[in-house]
Structure 1
Amino acid sequence: MKKKIVLFKTDVSSSLPLQFADEGIRAGFPSPAQDYMEQAIDLNKEIVKHPASTFYGRIVGDSMRGDGIEEGDILVIDKSLELVDDDLAVCFIDGEFTVKRVRLETDAAWLVPSNSEYPPIKVTKDNNFIVWGVVTYTIKKNRRKR
């Protein structure tokens, strides 16, 4: 676990309504029906449900690339949510932060990467371990470098 997650506090004090394609964006055949957009969406209100307990984290490393999470992506992390089996979570284990899928068992938990180059991490009572927060959204840059 040599890689780390860079964490940032959320700032929801401002509002930035952006135009919103309320009828959806077609991934099949294009639709000429939506020539203009009248709706607006504020991403702070859309993705931050609990402002006092929500943080952003920038991914460093590639252990979760099988889940489409790559270096430089931004995670939205909610510390107020209770972990459920198979959640994607930011965890603190033995002095380091990591993001993994958490699989719960009766006597242990597993931190499971989605890149086969990394082994799962078994968490037992002997580890210094906390679930720091549950990942609710991933924000990624889709435009490729030219």
Structure 2
Amino acid sequence: MIMPQSESLVFFTPEEITSITGAQFFDTGISAGFPSPTEDFSENRMSLDNELIKNKETTFYARVSGQSMIGAGLDDNDLLVIDRSVEPENNKIAVCFLDGEFTVKRLRVDSEGIWLKPENPNYPIIRISEDNNFIIWGIVTNVIKKV
């Protein structure tokens, strides 16, 4: 199901899990060094929803649009897993609704206020004031990338 969309993020809800979901999973570990023998592997099915989602009712997917978070490893077209039940804290990556638009930024919270910090020096840090229409919509828990 597709959720509302803004210029920077498109939201999706996780689909209902059926009894035959998931891709094949080889429970051997994949060597990033020397090749390992494949004779002792077991083949199961794995659902990424089961691996990446703790709270199905409060979790959404959104696709990144833009370059403001490339320093945090969030690239254009990456798929974010966002949990609305996770408490916002300093230094978490958050999806925020700011003055009519969704944005994803790193939270900076201290005694002087709240800032939304991009992870790209070409973008400005945003200081949140009482004049802003601002909501922390959810916290990014995982990122799915295409290679």
How does the TM-score come out when normalised to structure 1? 0.86
Deviations 1:90-110 (A, max 9, x none): 001111110011111113111
Deviations 1:111-138 (A, max 9, x none): 1111111011111233211110000111
Pick aligned residue for 2:57 from 52, 56, 71: 52
Gaps of 5+ in 2: 1-5
Equivalent in the alignment of 2:136: 131
Pick aligned residue for 1:82 from 66, 83, 87: 87
How does the TM-score come out when normalised to structure 2? 0.86
1:73 aligns with 2:91: no
SS in 2 for 1:45: helix
Pick aligned residue for 1:40 from 21, 37, 45: 45
Distance, in Å, in 2 between the alignment partners of 1:114 and 1:32 is 41
Count of aligned positions: 141
Distance, in Å, in 2 between the alignment partners of 1:75 and 1:58 is 6
Distance, in Å, in 2 between the alignment partners of 1:97 and 1:27 is 37
Deviation >3 Å, runs of 4+: 33-37
Distance, in Å, in 2 between the alignment partners of 1:83 and 1:22 is 34
Which letter maps to 1:9? Answer: T
CA root-mean-square deviation: 1.9
Distance, in Å, in 1 between the alignment partners of 2:99 and 2:90 is 21
Equivalent in the alignment of 1:7: 11
SS in 2 for 1:111: strand
Pick aligned residue for 2:109 from 100, 104, 107: 104
Q: Say which structure is richer in strand.
A: 2
Change over 3 Å in CA distance of 1:134–1:101 after alignment to 2:
same
Query: Post-superposition shift, 1:3?
Result: 4.5
State the identity as a percent: 47
Contact 1:12 1:44 in 2 (8 A): no
Gaps of 5+ in 1: none
